Structure 1
Amino acid sequence: MSDLYRFIHAEKANYPVTLLCRVLHVARSSYYAWREGKAARRRRQAADDALAHEITVLHLASRCTCGVPRIHAELRRLGRRVNRKRIARVMRERDIRGVNRRKYRSLTRPGKKAKLAPDLIGSDFHAERPGIKLVGDITYLPTAEGRLYLACRLDLATREVVGYAMADHHRAELVVDALDMAHGSGATCSPAA
C-alpha cells in the first residue's frame, strides 16, 4: 500500500490528489494519514536506532550472552521503560542473539519390551559395613573431542568410589568394566542387598 502512496506523492505535482486516489482506488484520507505519519515513522526509526545502540552496549558487556529477558530486565533496572516485544523486534531486526542453553537430553531410554530392574536398595542408602551395598551411575563429560562417558560404582558404607570406567560410548560393556574394577578392588555385594 505504501508504494501507491509514494506514487501519489511523486505525481501530485502533475495531477490532482483527488484524481490519483480515485484512479488507484485509494481513500484520500488514507493518503494524507500516510503523509502525516512519515515524520512519526522517522522518529520511531530514530528511537529504535537509539534503543539498538543501548541493547548492543548491554549485549557486548555481557560477552554476547544476554537474550531478550535479561536485556529487558537490565534496561528496566537502568530506568528505561521499554516493552519486551519491542526489544525482541529490535534485536531480531539487527540479528542480536543471546546464548541458548542446550536442552537436556536423556541418555537412558528403555525399549518397548524393557523390564525394569527391581529396587533392591529401597531408598535406604545406609550400610553397616563396606561391600554390602553398592550403587552406580553413568554420566557424560563434554570435552573438546566429544562426549566422554563415565560409569562408577560407589560403596554406600564408606562413600568411596570402588570402581569406574570411561569410554566414548554408554553401552553395557562400560558398566561391566566398572563392575569388574569394583570386583577387583575387593568390594563385593551380597545377593540379599
Structure 2
Amino acid sequence: MTTTHGVAFLCWLLKAARSSFHAWLASAKTRAARQTAHEALAHTITVIHVASRQTYGVLRSHAEPRRLGQRVNRKRVARVIRERGIQGPHRHRRPSLTRLNKKARPAPT
C-alpha cells in the first residue's frame, strides 16, 4: 500500500514528532534481531521442556540455557513460557486435616 502524503504531513496529522518516526524506522533492524533472538530462545526452552518430559518450570528452564553458556534473564524466560503456554507440573496441596477449635482460649504467656 502506497501513500501520496509525506511524512511531515502524516506526523502533523497524528501529532507526532518527525524525529520519533525516523527513530522508529531506524530501529527496525534492532527489533527484527530481537524477534529472531526471542524465537530462538523460545525454541530452546521448548526443546528443554520436552526433553525433561514436561517437568521443568521457569527456574529449571532458566538454569539450563545458563548452564550451556547462554546469558538469559529469568523474567524473559518466564514471559516466553507464559506466551507459549508451557507449564510445568503443579504441586497439589492437601487441605489441612486439623480443625481449628474456635472456642479454645490461647495459652497463657
TM-score by length of 2: 0.86
Query: What runs of 5+ residues in structure 1 fail to find an aligned partner?
Result: 1-8, 116-193
2:13 paired residue among 23, 33, 48: 23
Give the number of the structure whose residues are more often helix, by fraction.
Answer: 2
Unaligned runs of 5+ in 2: none
The CA deviation at 1:102 is 2.0
Q: Give the % identical residues.
A: 55
User: After the TM superposition, which parts of structure 1 deviate over 4 Å for at least 4 consecutive aligned residues?
Assistant: none
State TM-score, norm by structure 1: 0.50
Q: Which AA in structure 2 matches 1:38?
A: A
Match of 1:76 in 2: 66
1:12-161 equivalences in 2 (<5 Å)? 14-114=4-104
Q: What amino acid maps onto 1:64 in structure 2?
A: Q
Over aligned residues, Cα RMSD in angstroms?
2.0
Distance 1:80 1:90, change over 3 A: same
Indicate the structure whose relative CO is greater, using CA pairs within 8 Å and at least 6 residues apart.
Answer: 2
CA shift, 1:71, in A, is 0.8
Shift in Å, 1:106? 1.3
More strand as a share of residues: 1
**Per-residue deviation at 1:103?**
3.1
Larger Rg: 1
The amino acid of 1:70's aligned partner reads R
